[in-house]
Amino acid sequence: MLLEASDVIKQFGGFRAVSDASIKVEEGEIVGLIGPNGAGKSTMFNCLSGDLLPTSGRILYDGRDVTRVSPEAHARLGIGRTFQVPVTFEDMTILENVMVGAFLHHPGRHAAHAAALEILDKTGLAPIRDRPARSLGTPGRKRLEIARVLATRPRLMLLDEALAGLNANEIAGAIELVRAIHASGVTLIVVEHVMEVIMSLAQRVLVFNQGRVIASGTPRDVVRDPEVVRAYLGQTQWIAAAPDAAAP
Ligand SMILES: Nc1ncnc2c1ncn2[C@@H]1O[C@H](COP(=O)(O)OP(=O)(O)OP(=O)(O)O)[C@@H](O)[C@H]1O
Ligand SMILES: [Mg+2]
């Protein structure tokens, strides 16, 4: 098992954003993590990446207890995450932004530069690498966010709505990019509201509601689960993306 989170609780004051969540991910999987707004998906990611300290519970990564180690240590061990709101250094170029990630494993400027160029090629950002990050719109920012994390050479990548706000064309391109990342040997957990993305990428889906995993299974099975329908299927994009989900 690459990742094994057991009974994770994250409490903010008296409110439990994550309430006894357990998830397991095998090396090589693409797992979808879905659920309504406020279900605790990003909070769970924050616990898995070390950005938040869980109130209780245990997180094992590659057999090692990482529950209480820093975000930097998580990154160094190979857990990379994108942020729902991209973290960009606005006045730096796209290349320099990716170099920030590359410095994790390449302390020398020359090596970081070379590593960043390779990532820019893979992510399709090479032609605009010298532009300032502030010139980017949503699709470019989302792609830069993925590139910055890729530059840290993750073994497990947590994508938090990395494809949100893209049009149909851009989504298709981003799905292709995520598939290529997976094919290169990276295990992924993908948080996404756009069902088309989940249906075409995820091998297995976990459904979060009120801080708990309420269902898991193949994408097709999960969209037919009555509890999932009750908690989340009121949202029409599901129905549009999975036309036979409503069939008996
Ligand atoms: N730092 C915080 N302090 C207090 N409450 C928080 C904090 N972070 C998140 N929450 C609350 O925890 C709950 C879960 O939030 P979270 O961002 O994890 O949900 P989510 O599933 O990612 O939702 P979305 O799909 O809208 O991104 C929400 O009610 C949110 O307001
Ligand atoms: Mg979120």
84 lines ligand 1 (CB under 6 A): yes
Query: What is the DSSP track for 95-132?
Result: HHHHHHHHTTT--SHHHHHHHHHHHHHHTT-GGGTTSB
State if residue 43 touches ligand 1 by the CB under 6 angstroms criterion. yes
Q: Is any ligand 1 atom within 6 A of the Cβ of residue 39? A: yes
**124 CA to middle of ligand 2, Å?**
26
User: How far, in Å, from the CA of 54 to the mean position of ligand 1?
Assistant: 14
Atom 17 of ligand 1: nearest residue by CA position: 42
Q: How far is the CA of 182 from the centre of ligand 2 (A)?
A: 22
Q: For residues 116 and 106, is the Cβ–Cβ distance under 8 A?
A: no
In order along its 248 residues, the chain shows pLDDT tens digits of 999 999 999 999 999 999 999 999 999 999 999 999 999 999 999 999 999 999 999 999 999 999 999 999 999 999 999 999 988 999 999 999 999 999 999 999 999 999 999 999 999 999 999 999 999 999 999 999 999 999 999 999 999 999 998 999 999 999 999 999 999 999 999 999 988 899 999 999 999 999 999 999 999 999 888 888 888 866 544 544 544 443 33
Residue 143: CB atoms within 10 A of its CB come to: 25
Centre of ligand 2 from the C-alpha of residue 39, in Å:
8
Nearest atom, ligand 1, residue 45 CA: 18
Is residue 182 lining ligand 1, measured as CB closer than 6 Å? no
Q: Is 210 in the pocket of ligand 1 (CB under 6 A)?
A: no
Check residue 93 and report its DSSP letter.
B
What tokens were used for 27? Answer: 């090396």
For the chain, domains (ranges, CATH) are 3-89+154-246 (3.40.50.300)
Cα(38) to centroid of ligand 1, in Å?
Answer: 5
| Bridge partner list, 204 | 31
Contact assessment for residue 196 and residue 202, using Cβ atoms and an 8 Å cutoff: no
Among protein residues, the one whose CA lies closest to atom 29 of ligand 1: 38
Distance CA 248, CA 245 (A): 8
- The reported pLDDT for the residue numbered 133 is 97
Q: Which single residue is written with the structure tokens 């006894």?
A: 20
Confidence (pLDDT) at 236:
44
Distance CA 155, CA 58 (A): 20
Distance (angstroms) between ligand 1 centre and the Cα of 12 equals: 10
Which residue lies with its CA nearest to atom 6 of ligand 1? 12
**What's the confidence (pLDDT) of residue 227?**
85
- Terminal Cα distance for the chain, rounded: 35
CA quadruple 116, 122, 123, 128: dihedral sign: positive
Q: Rounded to an integer, what distance in angstroms lies between the CA atom of residue 152 and that of residue 225?
A: 37
